[in-house]
Amino acid sequence: MTSLDDLPLRDDLRGRSAYGAPQEPVRVSINVNESPFDVPPKVVEHVVDEIRRALPGLNRYPDREFVRLREKLAAYLGHGLTAERIWAANGSNEVLQHLLQAFAGPGRTVMGFGPTYSMYPLLSAGVGSEWIAAERDADFELSPGTAAAATAERQPDVLILCAPNNPTGTPVSLETIAACYDATDGIVIVDEAYAEFQPDGTPSALELLPGRPRLVVSRTMSKAFAYAGARLGYLAADPAVTEAVRLVRLPYHLSAITQAAACGALDCADVMLAEVDRIRVQRDRLLEEIAALGYRVYRSTANFVTFGGVADPNAMFEEFRRRSILIRDNGLPNCLRVTAGTEEETTAFLDALAEITRERPELRLAEPAPAAG
Ligand SMILES: *Cc1c(COP(=O)(O)O)cnc(C)c1O
């Protein structure tokens, strides 16, 4: 059998591991921040109609400019945005890849504030860029002063701010984003994958776009929009940024079926987002009840919670897995991450955490660990 080591792989990819959150048929899947709610039947019907209309035309390449979809995404985002300021791809991971292909690349640097989304270093490596993990304040917070100082010092070609941050849930203020923008001549990407879960009235970085041509706000239909399987991410930025990513995208990268499925769901945005409130209630319940069990919770405005005070995260992950509950071990010392699911799923998780803590008290640190990062 040939192993990876036998292949003439790029030197800078040797020894790296692929993204690999487990996909297993378990009772409770709360490990990748998906919505627990199925696409509602009414939406399914409408999307099927849209796809049916697209099918006879599949002999032709799809609209390379996906104009109708961009118009719908602009309308969904509001903030006076128009289609020329929107770009989309197969998940926001591909949007980020397009941005790094255009603005990073060999010899350039990409920076973020760790711990943050595990795909950023992988996407950076994929385009041959160096990933810089700058430090956060205590409790994973990110103040304008800390963020701007690191940005000014390192001068990354691309800075990625994850707001709220995965895996910690930490929000990022517009002051922090604006301060970073002013501290660099590079591209500043704000990854708002979880924006819709923030408290009502929380401003989006979309507000900062006017007059900031190097600022990019990335969004996805995978999380609050409950459409991860459709693979649709998008960005809003200056029209010049969308011109730049056209230089690196593959021709016709969004299939006619993807475009139809996304357009159909956007027509039903209210229904697709209807469960966000219920998910936020479960998120807040996790924050409260995990703390009550003696673990350290970190502030979260996303649909997941990271908790610390775990003596052996891998052992505890396996205890949950034995109970057919899949949570996430991000490799963060003494921490695990759990997604807010349905009320029943959240109850199953909390009951299991109480049981594990009772049966294996050695898995909980006596003193909650001081905040890493
Ligand atoms: C889940 C997630 C995304 C979304 O990825 P898609 O490719 O759109 O499914 C983007 N950024 C972060 C930080 C995420 O956690």
Q: Can you list the domains of the chain with their CATH numbers?
A: 20-37+275-363 (3.90.1150.10), 41-271 (3.40.640.10)
Between CA 372 and CA 133 the distance in angstroms is 14
Between CA 282 and CA 63 the distance in angstroms is 40
Which tokens sit at 351? 């009951």
User: Which of 194, 219, 222 is the best mutation target for the ligand 1 pocket, counting ligand atoms within 8 Å of the beta carbon and taking the most?
Assistant: 222
Instruction: Say what the pLDDT of residue 370 is.
Output: 55
Instruction: Say what the pLDDT of residue 367 is.
Output: 67
Residue nearest to atom 7 of ligand 1 (CA): 91
Residue nearest to atom 15 of ligand 1 (CA): 166
Instruction: Say what the pLDDT of residue 78 is.
Output: 97
Q: Which residue, among 95, 234, 108, 194, has the nearest Cα to 159 in the 3D structure?
A: 108
Question: What single letter denotes the amino acid at residue 288?
Answer: E
Between CA 206 and CA 81 the distance in angstroms is 9
Between CA 285 and CA 345 the distance in angstroms is 12
Three-state DSSP class for 367?
coil
Residue 224 Cβ inside 6 Å of ligand 1? The answer reads no
Between CA 166 and CA 72 the distance in angstroms is 27
Residue ranges with strand state E in the chain: 28-29, 86-89, 109-114, 130-135, 158-162, 187-191, 215-220, 233-237, 296-297, 304-308, 325-326, 336-339
Q: For residue 366, report the distance from its CA to the centre of ligand 1, in Å.
A: 34
Please tell me the chain's helix, strand, coil percentages from 3-state DSSP, rounded to the nearest 5: 45, 15, 40
Instruction: Say what the pLDDT of residue 373 is.
Output: 42
The ranges of the chain with pLDDT < 50 are: 373
Which tokens sit at 202? 């929380």
End-to-end Cα distance, the chain: 42
Q: For residue 165, report the distance from its CA to the centre of ligand 1, in Å.
A: 11
Residue 26 Cβ inside 6 Å of ligand 1? The answer reads no
Instruction: Say what the pLDDT of residue 18 is.
Output: 87
Between CA 96 and CA 89 the distance in angstroms is 9
